[in-house]
Amino acid sequence: MTELQNDRFLRALLKQPVDRTPIWMMRQAGRYLPEYRETRARAGDFLSLCKNADLACEVTLQPLERYPLDAAILFSDILTIPDAMGLGLYFETGEGPKFRQTIRSEQDFALLSRPKMDDELGYVMNAVSTIRRELNGRVPLIGFTGSPWTLATYMIEGGSSKDFRHSKAMLYSNPALMHALLDQLAEVIIDYLNAQIAAGAQAVQIFDSWGGALSHRAYTEFSLQYMTKIVAGLNREAEGRKVPVILFTKGGGQWLEAMAESGADALGLDWTTSLADARSRVGDKVALQGNMDPSVLYAKPEYIRQEVGQILQEYGQGSGHVFNLGHGIHQFVDPDHAKAFIEAVVELSPQYHTQR
Ligand SMILES: Cc1c2[nH]c(c1CCC(=O)O)Cc1[nH]c(c(CCC(=O)O)c1C)Cc1[nH]c(c(CCC(=O)O)c1C)Cc1[nH]c(c(C)c1CCC(=O)O)C2
């Protein structure tokens, strides 16, 4: 494998000294980029794009051609796993993801299959190895998965949800079934991330997008417990380097101390938590990733730059911060505003890394 030319993202996740704060954006390859929309149109639809390694690689690299980003993220989706377990994923234009089959009873659960990483999910591993080859050591590649709880909500609801009616009902009325589902998902996710690491992923992120919808006690029992199990099951070394793990519970600011005990190297933060506060609460245990409100990118470039300055100041001196948005970039953002954002981080952050 080619030598990595830019490792400040991997170093910051391990709190090793860096020359400036690294940056990438959640959903950095996506609809706000006209070139993404063009490639997706060529693929036909989103799922065909995910399943074509050359086109998935092409869109992964698109934001790197435009901006000085410090990491690439695999172009795929968290819903590849439930799809491969037999639920039949499809997207209806403007309506988000849907499943043909839902899991609401023991009978439904019994129908779930255990997907093979070199078969049903082989297309994801092909995308990872193709992207690694084309990146040619420019920046590290991030692999990812959804958390068991987040995937379970899609499998139980049959798609996106606002109130998690069926998932919450199962959690409180049939916790044994919920635990069986979460445990099976955790097992599949361990295989999935280990296969991504074997194919070339150099860091991995667990997206717990809906962990914040859980009650205080339920979060530990139904989400964090299973993410901790996953972290313990990962091969944490590849190509002679540690493979850092990032845990991102959206809306999880109140649980940072507990999350820091999960074994993860870094925690992702949304914009509702102060970085200064988060840093003092987790101490030296983990690095932090985040946390600008993605909607700030609707503002003028001067304002975006000011906001970046504030967030850098909140984290303060030293390594252990990966700049990011607090959630995915919105589809209506002007790509020039994303550019102003990334350049502000590049220009304003070196002063926070003077004691190397
Ligand atoms: C919950 C979730 C999903 N997918 C994902 C999450 C967790 C992150 C989060 O909390 O947002 C993760 C994801 N989805 C996608 C990526 C690609 C990598 C990246 O650039 O970050 C990643 C990391 C591509 C995508 N995944 C999807 C798109 C849009 C599809 C399109 O091109 O129309 C992309 C680029 C589709 C998708 N996929 C999902 C939804 C709800 C939707 C539709 C909503 C929407 O339209 O934004 C499920």
Atom index in ligand 1 nearest the CA of residue 79 equals 48
**How would residue 356 be classed by pLDDT, with cut points 50, 70 and 90?**
low
**Mean pLDDT score of the chain:** 97
Instruction: List residues near ligand 1 (CB under 6 A).
Output: 26-31, 40, 46, 73, 75, 77-79, 96-97, 144, 160, 207, 209, 250, 328
Q: Is residue 252 part of a domain?
A: yes
Distance from the CA of 53 to the center of ligand 1, in angstroms? 17
342: in domain: yes
Question: From residue 322, how far is each of 121, 252, 318, 330 by CA, in Å?
Answer: 29, 18, 11, 20
| Backbone φ, ψ for residue 157 (5° rounding) | -75, -25
pLDDT score of 1 more than 70: no
Q: Which of 78, 99, 324 gets mutated to test ligand 1 (max ligand atoms within 8 A of its CB)?
A: 78
Q: Please give the backbone phi and psi of residue 308, each rounded to the nearest 5 degrees, phi first.
A: -60, -45
- pLDDT at residue 9, rounded to an integer: 98
127-158 residue pLDDT tens:
999 999 999 999 999 999 999 999 999 999 99
Q: Establish whether 331 is an annotated binding residue.
A: no
With a cut of 80, say whether residue 355 has pLDDT above it.
no
Reported as a pLDDT band with limits 50, 70 and 90, residue 27 is very high
Ligand 1 atom 22: residue of nearest CA: 77
In a domain, 3, yes or no: no
b/e for 282-303, b at 16 or more Cβ within 10 A?
Answer: beebbbbbbbbbbebbeeebee
pLDDT digit string (tens) for 182-241? 999 999 999 999 999 999 999 999 999 999 999 999 999 999 999 999 999 999 999 999
Residue 29 lies in a domain: yes
Closest by alpha carbon to 99, among 114, 81, 116?
A: 81
Q: Confidence band (pLDDT; 50, 70, 90) for 92?
A: confident
Residues 6+ apart with CB under 8 A from 280: none
Residue 73 has pLDDT above 70, yes or no: yes
Q: What's the pLDDT score for residue 95?
A: 84
Looking up residue 214, the CATH number of its domain turns out to be: 3.20.20.210
Centroid of ligand 1 to alpha carbon of 320 (angstroms): 26
Residue with CA at minimum distance from ligand 1 atom 43? 96
Range of the domain at 82: 8-352
Residue 1, domain member (yes or no): no
CB-CB contact of 328 with 27 (8 Å) = yes
Q: 346: number of CA atoms within 13 Å, CB side?
A: 11
Residues 6+ apart with CB under 8 A from 311: 275, 291, 292, 323
Please measure the distance between the N-terminal and C-terminal CA atoms of the chain and give it in whole angstroms: 29
Q: How many CB atoms lie within 10 A of CB 46?
A: 15
Global pTM exceeds 0.90: yes
Q: What CA–CA distances, in Å, run from 161 to 63, 141, 249, 276, 283?
A: 29, 30, 17, 32, 35
Nearest CA to ligand 1 atom 39: 97
| Residues taking part in catalysis | 27, 31, 40, 77, 154
User: If you count DSSP H runs as helices and E runs as strands, how many of each does the chain have, helices first?
Assistant: 16, 11
217 is in an annotated binding site: no
Confidence of residue 93 (pLDDT cuts 50, 70, 90): confident
Q: What is the pLDDT of residue 128?
A: 98
Looking at the structure of the chain, the number of domains it has is 1
Give the phi and the psi of residue 10 in degrees, each rounded to 5: -65, -40
Does 292 reside within a domain? Answer: yes
In a domain, 43, yes or no: yes
Distance 36 CA to ligand 1 centre (A): 13
Which of 23, 24, 25, 27 best tests ligand 1's pocket when mutated (most atoms within 8 Å of CB)? 27
In a domain, residue 110? The reply is yes
